[in-house]
């Protein structure tokens, strides 16, 4: 909004030219979202408590988690509120990418809200039926994939797959890419959801991934930088940096309340939306394969659940002490804070590895 209102006046007030720059608006988008969460976070937590949006804790998990029963959930509303307001102020809405990512994020947040509502207010432990949730996620993913398939002036660019450490495109999938993109988006959404089980774990990892992706989106949307780094140039992708910066600010503020001992959990409201963001962004900037490395902790958490289910069905025994993976390490005796810190360290290492791929050849 500020971009559209103030930038046209730069002919009369020279410093308003700053609104042209992605870096300027990204910085203030992050600061705005952070300040909004810090100011309104405590009020919204109190509101969630008054409405009895409280988390129920599984009895089969680590015994230390029982003390968390009753902690307010749906904290993802705090993140989404700050993000939406910040983007409304600092975003350039002539970018179709920004519109699509914003709408999809809100839709996934609404899906998560419905799931949290059913679990915390209607007291149905399973929340939304898994099939209903998957169908809704698939619908959002399909909409995004079809937009990206038909929107570019060069459709070949959308359906081409790039891989880390490889100079140039790897394969062109054609219409099959739509299915591939849907898998990436739905997978990203569910992976973050599975990881959100310890205080600060998911939101801390999201900060690492978002900061890294923010840098990559900026470079991908800059023709000179993309050419130098030999990565695909996506016109308009740089505006996604403002979105990701706003989300970084919101997540950083949320970590203030979500760090151990957590005053609020993000719930599916936050985790489904945040996971969708990294999945959607990766397909928009042609970093679908790189996301497997960058979000390696999320991938490991998801694989641990799949392995546990398959192994149990085959042997009637558990491969891990408990899945997702973070609970396995807790049951091995690692304190919760140590699990979180070590997973963050792995996330940082993977992020640095991803950045090295930008100019490997």
| Residue 292, SS3 per DSSP | helix
pLDDT band at residue 166 using 50, 70 and 90 as cut-offs? confident
Distances in whole angstroms, Cα of residue 53 to Cα of each of 17, 37, 107, 152, 356 = 45, 19, 20, 42, 43
Regarding predicted confidence, which is higher, 63 or 174?
Answer: 174
Residue 153 predicted with pLDDT over 70: no
How does the average pLDDT of the chain come out, rounded?
90
Arithmetic mean of pLDDT, 197-204? 94
Total Cβ atoms within 10 A of residue 62? 17
Q: Which two tokens stand for residue 4?
A: 């559209």
Q: Which of 199, 192, 193, 195 is nearest to 65 (CA)?
A: 199
What are the pLDDT digits (tens) for 241-271? 999 999 999 999 999 999 989 999 999 999 9
Distances in whole angstroms, Cα of residue 272 to Cα of each of 103, 261, 293, 337 = 14, 22, 20, 23
What is residue 97's predicted lDDT score, i.e. its pLDDT? 93
What is residue 196's predicted lDDT score, i.e. its pLDDT? 93
Instruction: Let me know: does 205 contact 198? Beta carbons within 8 Å.
Output: no
What is residue 155's predicted lDDT score, i.e. its pLDDT? 53
Range list of H helices, 160-222? 176-195, 201-220
Which of the residue ranges 65-69, 117-121, 306-310 would you say has the lowest mean pLDDT?
65-69
Total Cβ atoms within 10 A of residue 306? 11
Q: CB neighbours of 346 closer than 8 A, spacing ≥ 6? A: 296, 297
Gap between the Cα atoms of 183 and 288, Å rounded: 10
What is residue 154's predicted lDDT score, i.e. its pLDDT? 53
Residue 347 predicted with pLDDT over 70: yes
| Residue 262, SS3 per DSSP | coil
Torsion of CA 41, 42, 48, 53, to 10 degrees: 90
What is residue 156's predicted lDDT score, i.e. its pLDDT? 58
Instruction: Let me know: does 262 contact 75? Beta carbons within 8 Å.
Output: no
What is residue 334's predicted lDDT score, i.e. its pLDDT? 93
Phi, psi of 162 (to 5 degrees): -115, 150
Give strand ranges (E) for the chain: 160-162, 169-172
Gap between the Cα atoms of 112 and 273, Å rounded: 7
What is residue 111's predicted lDDT score, i.e. its pLDDT? 97
HSE (side-chain half, CA atoms, 13 Å) at 20? 9
Gap between the Cα atoms of 215 and 357, Å rounded: 13
Arithmetic mean of pLDDT, 284-295? 95
Gap between the Cα atoms of 258 and 332, Å rounded: 24
Arithmetic mean of pLDDT, 275-304? 96
Residue 141 predicted with pLDDT over 90: yes
Phi, psi of 294 (to 5 degrees): -60, -45
Phi, psi of 169 (to 5 degrees): -65, 150
What is residue 85's predicted lDDT score, i.e. its pLDDT? 97
What is residue 332's predicted lDDT score, i.e. its pLDDT? 92
Q: CB neighbours of 47 closer than 8 A, spacing ≥ 6? A: none
Instruction: Let me know: does 83 contact 246? Beta carbons within 8 Å.
Output: yes
| Cα three-residue angle 115-125-276, rounded to 5 degrees | 30
Residue environment code for 221-247, b if the CB has 16+ CB neighbours within 10 A, otherwise e? bbeeebeebebbbbebbbbbbbbbbbb
Q: CB neighbours of 28 closer than 8 A, spacing ≥ 6? A: 89, 90
Q: Which of 301, 313, 249, 322 is nearest to 37 (CA)?
A: 249
Which of the residue ranges 77-81, 117-121, 270-274, 351-355 would you say has the lowest mean pLDDT?
117-121
What are the pLDDT digits (tens) for 48-87? 888 877 666 555 556 555 566 678 889 999 999 999 999 9
Q: Which two tokens stand for residue 358?
A: 């930008």
Instruction: Let me know: does 111 contact 267? Beta carbons within 8 Å.
Output: no
Arithmetic mean of pLDDT, 226-245? 91
């Amino acid at each position: 909004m500020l971009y559209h209102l103030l930038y046209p006046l730069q002919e009369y007030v020279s410093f308003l030219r700053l609104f042209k720059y992605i870096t300027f608006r990204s910085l203030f988008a992050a600061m705005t979202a952070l300040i909004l969460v810090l100011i309104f976070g405590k009020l919204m937590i109190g509101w969630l408590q008054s409405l009895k949006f409280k988390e129920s804790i599984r009895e089969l998990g680590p015994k230390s988690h029982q003390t968390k029963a009753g902690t307010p959930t749906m904290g993802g509303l705090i993140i989404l509120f700050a993000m939406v307001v910040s983007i409304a102020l600092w975003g350039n809405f002539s970018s179709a990418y920004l519109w699509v990512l914003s709408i999809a994020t809100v839709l996934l947040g609404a899906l998560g809200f419905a799931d949290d509502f059913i679990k915390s207010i209607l007291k149905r432990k399973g929340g939304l039926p898994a099939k209903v949730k998957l169908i809704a996620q698939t619908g959002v993913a399909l909409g995004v994939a079809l937009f990206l398939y038909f929107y570019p002036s060069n459709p070949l660019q959308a359906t081409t797959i790039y891989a880390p450490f490889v100079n140039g495109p790897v394969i062109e999938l054609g219409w099959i890419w739509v299915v591939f993109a849907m898998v990436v988006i739905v997978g990203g959404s569910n992976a973050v959801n599975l990881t959100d089980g310890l205080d600060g774990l998911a939101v801390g990892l999201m900060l690492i991934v978002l900061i890294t992706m923010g840098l990559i989106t900026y470079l991908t949307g800059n023709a000179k930088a993309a050419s130098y780094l030999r990565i695909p140039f996506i016109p308009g992708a740089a505006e996604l940096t403002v979105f990701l910066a706003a989300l970084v600010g919101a997540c950083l503020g949320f970590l203030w309340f979500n760090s151990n001992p957590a005053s609020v959990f993000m719930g599916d409201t936050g985790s489904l939306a945040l996971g969708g963001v990294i999945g959607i962004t990766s397909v928009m900037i042609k970093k679908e394969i790189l996301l497997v490395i960058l979000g390696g902790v999320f991938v490991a958490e998801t694989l641990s659940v799949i392995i546990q289910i398959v192994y149990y069905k085959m042997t009637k025994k558990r491969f891990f002490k408990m899945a997702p993976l973070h609970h396995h390490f807790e049951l091995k005796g690692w304190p919760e804070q140590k699990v979180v810190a070590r997973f963050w360290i792995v996330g940082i290492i993977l992020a640095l590895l991803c950045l090295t791929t930008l100019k490997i050849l």
